[in-house]
Structures are given as structure tokens and as C-alpha cells.
């Protein structure tokens, strides 16, 4: 009896976590999926009505803007962060004497809350007293830099702040990758007289493919979940110009009292995340079992 109990201990230790995950992750996803198929408004209703919420969602111009913004912001944010991160990592890898200090400076934004980042950039970019006013004060009276209040450009301010926050982290990932490349191969290439840029493009960067992949996963995940940054920097405005799916969902859930729309937009967000993450996780888990 005690032997049997002894063997059950590990399972009992896991039980609370297992129950919590089952209920609060998978059960809740199920609840949201269910409600997204109903006519819920201010209060959730549980009679399944079909895919009306989704049809309505895709007919809503505001959601259209939000999805467009997600693709613009996501693509730019990911590409710029990766390119910048890789460049900074390669340059930092050239036996720089003050590497430690520079690395610390590049990475510190990652420790900040997106709300702090948004607040800082909102102040820097505000046309009245920020960068625009500063450059005008230098004598360039016609200089304009009003992206923050310009509906066509406001989304790029979010890209700017996002890249500022996350590129240092990508740099750290790549730097760790560069350091783990087999030194012998590089030395051999140097002995053969292959120029340094070529060593990078032909040997080192291709061997870092897994790091590109995980950087991509993390960044796309950050992009889809971006909520705080938009709230703090533009509040989704001007108008709805910088709405993202996350802010749309929040507005529907907590200020518009439209639970059906909130649930269906949340489900679309999850679909986007899973389209990117599931193949990755699947391959990772399989690789480990082999």
C-alpha cells in the first residue's frame, strides 16, 4: 500500500498544475470558441448559432484595419529587428574591447514594460515639443515629423518603438549563436585565406538557421500579442488607425460590451499564433524524441 502510494507521489505533485492547465488554458479556449459561435452581446449566451460572429468580424472595417496593421507592423518589426540584431551581433563579435558595456546598453529596453516604452516614445515623437519641434528649433522651420498623429504613418511609430525594445534581445540571441559556431572551421577558413565577410555569409550564418527560426518565433509571438505598446503610444489612434487585433479584442470585450465579437477576434488571434508556432513546437518535440 505504501509502495503504491509512493509511486503515485509524482503524479499527485503534477495534479494541481495539470488540472489548472486543463481548465484555465484548454477549457477556457473551448469556452471562448463556443461563445464565438453564439449571439452573445453584453452577456454570454450559449445557444450555438453558427459562424455569424466571424462573418460580421470580417465585414467590419475596423477589424480589417487591425489585421492590415498586424501584417504591416509584424513584417516590419520582425524583419528590422532580425537584420539589426544580426548586424549588431556580428559587429560586436569583432573582439570589441567594451563589449560588455555595449551589450548591456543594447539589451536594457527588454527589461522595461511596454507601457514605459510607449510613454517614452510618445513624448519623444509628439510633434509639439518632441523631435519635430527640436529640429525646427535648429532652424529647419519646414521640417515635419508628425507620424504619431498622422493616420497613414502612426503604425510606423509602433514599429520604431517595438524595434527599439526588442532588437537588443535578438542581438543577444544571435551573439550566443555566433559564439557557439565551431571555432576550428572558422580558423580553417581563415587559413585558407577566405575573406571575413565571406566566412560569415557562407559558413557562420547558414549554421545559425535554428536561431533565425527561434528569433522569428519569439518576434512574431510578440507582434501578435502587442497590446500594451499600442495602448501607451497611440491608444489605437488617430481614430482606429493603429488598432491591432489585440486592441480590437479588448475594446469589444471591455468597453463595447460585445462578447461575441471579442471571442471571435480572440479565436482568430489564436489561429494566427498557432499557424506559426505549432509546426515549430511539433518539430522541436519530435526532434527531442528521436
Partner 1 sequence: MTDATIQTARSPRKTSSRTGRIVLRTLLYVFLIAFALFYLMPLFVMLTTSLKSLDEIRTGSLIALPRDITFEAWKTAWSGACSGIRCEGLRPYLLNSLMIAIPGVALSTLFGAMNGYVFAQWKFRGANLLFSLLLFGCFIPFQVVLLPMARVLGILNMAGTIPGLIFVHTVYGLGFTTLFFRNYYVTIPMELVRAAKIDGAGFFRIFWSIFLPLSLPIIVVTVIWQFTQIWNDFLFGVSFSQAGTQPVTVALNNIVNSTTGVKEYNVDMAAAILAALPTLLVYVVAGKYFIRGLTAGSVKG
Ranges within 178-237 binding partner 1 (CB under 8 A)? 210-211, 214-215, 217-218, 221, 224-225, 227-228, 231-232, 235
Q: Any contact of residue 89 with partner 1 (CB under 8 A)? A: no
# of chain residues touching partner 1 (CB under 8 A): 98
Whose CA is closest to 266, among 37, 74, 17?
A: 37
Query: In the chain, what's the furthest Cα-to-Cα distance?
Result: 87
Site string for partner 1, 41-60 (x = CB under 8 A): ---x----------------
Q: Any contact of residue 82 with partner 1 (CB under 8 A)? A: no
Q: Any contact of residue 115 with partner 1 (CB under 8 A)? A: yes
Q: Any contact of residue 150 with partner 1 (CB under 8 A)? A: no
- Selected range binding partner 1 among 74-82, 184-192, 197-205, 251-259, rule: CB under 8 A: 251-259
List helix spans (H) across the chain.
Answer: 2-21, 28-35, 52-59, 61-92, 99-107, 114-125, 131-137, 154-180, 183-191, 196-199, 205-207, 209-225, 228-233, 245-250, 259-289
CB of 240 to partner 1, least distance (A): 17
Q: Any contact of residue 250 with partner 1 (CB under 8 A)? A: yes
Whose CA is closest to 189, among 181, 179, 199, 197?
A: 199
Whose CA is closest to 115, among 227, 283, 21?
A: 227
Residues 6+ apart with CB under 8 A from 275: none
Residues 6+ apart with CB under 8 A from 53: 36, 37, 38, 39, 260, 261, 263, 264
Is the Cβ of residue 94 or residue 142 nearer to partner 1 in the bound state? 94
CB of 95 to partner 1, least distance (A): 10
- Selected range binding partner 1 among 19-27, 51-59, 64-72, 199-207, rule: CB under 8 A: 19-27
Cβ count within 10 A of residue 57: 24
Which listed residue (72, 79, 102, 199) binds partner 1 by CB under 8 A?
Answer: 102
Q: Any contact of residue 71 with partner 1 (CB under 8 A)? A: no
Q: Any contact of residue 123 with partner 1 (CB under 8 A)? A: yes
Q: Any contact of residue 63 with partner 1 (CB under 8 A)? A: no
Amino acid at each position: 500500500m505504501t509502495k503504491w502510494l509512493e509511486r503515485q507521489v509524482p503524479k499527485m505533485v503534477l495534479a494541481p498544475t495539470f488540472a489548472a492547465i486543463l481548465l484555465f488554458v484548454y477549457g477556457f479556449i473551448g469556452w471562448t470558441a463556443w461563445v464565438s459561435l453564439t449571439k452573445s452581446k453584453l452577456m454570454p449566451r450559449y445557444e450555438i448559432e453558427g459562424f455569424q460572429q466571424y462573418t460580421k468580424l470580417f465585414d467590419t472595417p475596423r477589424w480589417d484595419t487591425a489585421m492590415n496593421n498586424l501584417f504591416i507592423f509584424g513584417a516590419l518589426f520582425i524583419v528590422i529587428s532580425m537584420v539589426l540584431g544580426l548586424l549588431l551581433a556580428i559587429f560586436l563579435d569583432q573582439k570589441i574591447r567594451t563589449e560588455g558595456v555595449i551589450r548591456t546598453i543594447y539589451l536594457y529596453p527588454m527589461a522595461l514594460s511596454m507601457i514605459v516604452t510607449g510613454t517614452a516614445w510618445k513624448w519623444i515623437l509628439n510633434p509639439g515639443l518632441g523631435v519635430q519641434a527640436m529640429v525646427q528649433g535648429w532652424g529647419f522651420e519646414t521640417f515635419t515629423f508628425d507620424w504619431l498623429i498622422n493616420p497613414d504613418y502612426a503604425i510606423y511609430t509602433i514599429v520604431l518603438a517595438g524595434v527599439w525594445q526588442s532588437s537588443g534581445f535578438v542581438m543577444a540571441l544571435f551573439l550566443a549563436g555566433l559564439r557557439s559556431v565551431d571555432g576550428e572551421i572558422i580558423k580553417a577558413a581563415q587559413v585558407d585565406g577566405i575573406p571575413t565577410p565571406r566566412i560569415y555569409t557562407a559558413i557562420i550564418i547558414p549554421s545559425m538557421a535554428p536561431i533565425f527560426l527561434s528569433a522569428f518565433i519569439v518576434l512574431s509571438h510578440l507582434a501578435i500579442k502587442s497590446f500594451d505598446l499600442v495602448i501607451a503610444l497611440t491608444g489605437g489612434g488617430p481614430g482606429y488607425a493603429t488598432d491591432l487585433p489585440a486592441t480590437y479584442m479588448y475594446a469589444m470585450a471591455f468597453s463595447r460590451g460585445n462578447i461575441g465579437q471579442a471571442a471571435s477576434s480572440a479565436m482568430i488571434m489564436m489561429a494566427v499564433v498557432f499557424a506559426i508556432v505549432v509546426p515549430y513546437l511539433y518539430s522541436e518535440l519530435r526532434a527531442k524524441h528521436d
